[in-house]
Chain A
Amino acid sequence: MNQWLMASLGLGLTWALGFFVAGALARRSGPAEAAAGFPLGALIVTLLGMLLLLLGLPLARNPWLVASIGVFGIASLAYRRWGRGASAGSPSPPPRASQGDTALLALGAVLLLVQLGLLAGGMLRIPAIADWDAWAIWAFKAKAFYVDRGVTRYFAHGDDYYFTWPARPCLSAFYQAFVYTCLGREEAAAVRLVHLAFFVSLLLAFFESLRRAVAPGAALLSTALFASLPSVAYVATAGLANLVLGTYLLLATLSLERAREAGRFGLAVAAGLLLGGAALTRDEGLVLGGLIAVVASFSLPGRPRLGPAAAAIVIAASCSLPWLLLVAPFELWDLRSSWWSVEVIARAREHAKDAGEILRMAAVELTKPVEQTRSSPFEEWLGVAPAWPLFGLALLRVRSLRESSPLAWTSALAAVSGLLVYIAGFWLFPYQDLDWLRDNWLYVFDRHALSVLPLAAYATAVAFAAGAPED
């Protein structure tokens, strides 16, 4: 019991630390800061763990907790100084609830509560980490960091553990190791609890972003619908990093947009930290994060505001440095050698003839129902997962919302750009033939695309829930 109390304190400390940092940077404290709290806190705790290792200290409970509490103290002072100032506010007030909206509010609340209850119930009933990648990659790394109190032995045996992709950044696994150290043991339920906390942050960010564009009832119902998408619901607590990356990217996009509106540099710094979280979560995080920063700068008419985007990219890249320094001394087998060579150009030319087929296969993978046991009977009956086709439909509308909801426009562009980055990755990959590419890499495209699905779902929700053009 005391162990779980310690783990809860660790999780609570993480959220409070992130909330204070977000509040101090935004100079306000509202739902957006509450949503950013846990992901920002997890990033800071992870960075502190990496700094301990770089200083030659072990990843033991005392030094890690003391360092986190120390930063928490500084963050709380900064929050007291700056975090409770005037609201950054948006230029136009968010839409208010109408009478009909109340029914949507009630329906959305019921659906969301049932969905979260079922996710929590599922975790209690079957706490094991069932997904192959979740235990073979992410939980493996977390166990290694926790058991070894460091990374050296795991990296030194990287060739034997090649299937865990040792060199790849792994914020969620590193943070899981923090929860293990608080708990005093390796525990599958703790892994799933960490991912549930990320998921709740994602839902809060999704709702808060929507609330700025549509009435509260439509925002809550859309959030509930997003939460119950089978692909999202399955990954939410499975222990995978795809949706964690999606959480960082959505929060960073929201923060960049607020930085543009309010002209506050602190919000650009917050966006940079969140993009840093993305960069440390998965390999493609820095690329997608940089892309989002650029898209956010150029998506709206008028002079692009490059300053906040440039600051955000520099901060995000800096967040990756400790991981790179930890990995650098070890010769780890990795895919990177496939990319850092002139052969990429030759491959681009050679694979040009396959571009159309790769696009078609990517579309098929994106629209297939989830193969895991938690797929919805509706999708199985339909034979298609409707989330991405609906986003395609929403793109028809979303451009007309550039003025009234620039975040929806930016999100749609970022989601499309992100998908194209993944598809370009498949295209440039040194594959043997297209069947091999599909069976070994493309078949999980729907899972990779979860990193930009929150952005796409946000744009879709605004396109369908906001008033019609002539309204």
Chain B
Amino acid sequence: MAEGKALSVLLKGARLGAAALLIVGSLSSLLAQWRNTLAPGISGFDLAHPEVPGDDPATLVATLEASAAVVEPGDTLGVLYSAADSNQVFVAFRLAYLLYPKPVFIETYAEAGAADEFARLRKRGATLILVLGGSALVAGETEALPAPGPGASLFRVRGYAR
């Protein structure tokens, strides 16, 4: 009986505390929504490109736009990226999304193996190859195009040049 009474008191206290906690939390959440809706700059993300991660969204956007602009009808883009760098992962996946239905072959590379993956992309029929990082590891039978962004290199496979 005493146990039941104690549990009841505990629950009443918990109810009051929880209600107060939730109402404060709710108002705080509304404040966060208000802040993000009316003054999104405060939260730090780029209003024009809220999907772009990292500290330097403008550079990633520039890389995406410059890479997409080079792709011509009939091109098949291959992208080599390192899975260890989330900005590179973003660019690779985002290009596949933006360029769909144009096929985009994407391959990850390890530090020492970019040349193998590069060759594999060529073998699969990629006519343009974007290498994110690791550009020094690839060579031969390709024409280097202007770099679409810092740390990114773009190659047109010879024989496909327009």
Say yes or no: is A307 at the interface (Cβ < 8 Å to chain B): no
Residues facing B in A98-152 (CB within 8 A) are 111, 114-115, 118-119, 121-122, 125-126, 128-132, 135-136, 139-140, 143-144, 147-148
How many Å lie between the Cα of A230 and that of B30 in the bound state? 9
Say yes or no: is B131 at the interface (Cβ < 8 Å to chain A): no
How many Å lie between the Cα of A114 and that of B29 in the bound state? 11
* Chain B 24-39 interface 0/1 with A at a Cβ cutoff of 8 Å (1 = within): 1111111111101110
Q: Note all chain B residues with C-beta closer than 8 A to A230.
A: 29, 32
Say yes or no: is B101 at the interface (Cβ < 8 Å to chain A): yes
Q: Note all chain B residues with C-beta closer than 8 A to A129.
A: 51
Say yes or no: is A224 at the interface (Cβ < 8 Å to chain B): yes
Binds B, one of A172-180, A330-338, A462-470: A462-470
With A163-B93, A468-B11, A469-B4 already in contact, the answer to whether A115 and B40 are too (CB < 8 A) is: no
Q: Which residue of A lies closest to B31 (CB)?
A: A377
Q: Which residue of A lies closest to B16 (CB)?
A: A464
How many Å lie between the Cα of A470 and that of B8 in the bound state? 8
What total of chain B residues lie within 8 Å of the partner, measured CB to CB? 46
Instruction: Tell me, rounded to whole Å, the shortest Cβ–Cβ distance linking B83 to chain A.
Output: 10
How many Å lie between the Cα of A442 and that of B101 in the bound state? 33
Q: Note all chain A residues with C-beta closer than 8 A to B96.
A: 140, 160-161
Say yes or no: is B2 at the interface (Cβ < 8 Å to chain A): no
Partner of A228 from the list B8, B29, B90, B105 (CB cut-off 8 Å) is B29
Say yes or no: is A84 at the interface (Cβ < 8 Å to chain B): no
A118 near B30: Cβ-Cβ < 8 Å: yes
A224 near B26: Cβ-Cβ < 8 Å: yes
Partner of A140 from the list B19, B44, B97 (CB cut-off 8 Å) is B97
Q: Note all chain B residues with C-beta closer than 8 A to A111.
A: 26, 30
Number of A-B contacts (CB under 8 A): 126
A374 near B97: Cβ-Cβ < 8 Å: no
How many Å lie between the Cα of A228 and that of B4 in the bound state? 34
* Chain A 371-403 interface 0/1 with B at a Cβ cutoff of 8 Å (1 = within): 001111111000000100010010011000000
How many Å lie between the Cα of A393 and that of B11 in the bound state? 9
Q: Note all chain A residues with C-beta closer than 8 A to B24.
A: 378
Say yes or no: is A434 at the interface (Cβ < 8 Å to chain B): no
Say yes or no: is A233 at the interface (Cβ < 8 Å to chain B): yes
Partner of B33 from the list A118, A135, A397 (CB cut-off 8 Å) is A118
Q: Note all chain B residues with C-beta closer than 8 A to A393.
A: 14, 18
Q: Nearest 8 CB-CB pairs, A to B? A: A378-B28, A130-B50, A118-B33, A376-B29, A373-B43, A228-B29, A122-B37, A228-B26
A-to-B contact residues, CB < 8 Å? 111, 114-115, 118-119, 121-122, 125-126, 128-132, 135-136, 139-140, 143-144, 147-148, 153, 157, 160-161, 163, 224-225, 228-230, 233, 373-379, 386, 390, 393, 396-397, 464, 468-470
Given contacts A128-B49, A377-B28, A464-B14, list 19 more A-B pairs with CB under 8 A. A118-B30, A118-B34, A119-B33, A121-B38, A122-B36, A122-B37, A125-B37, A132-B53, A135-B51, A135-B97, A136-B93, A147-B100, A373-B45, A377-B31, A390-B18, A393-B18, A397-B11, A464-B15, A468-B12
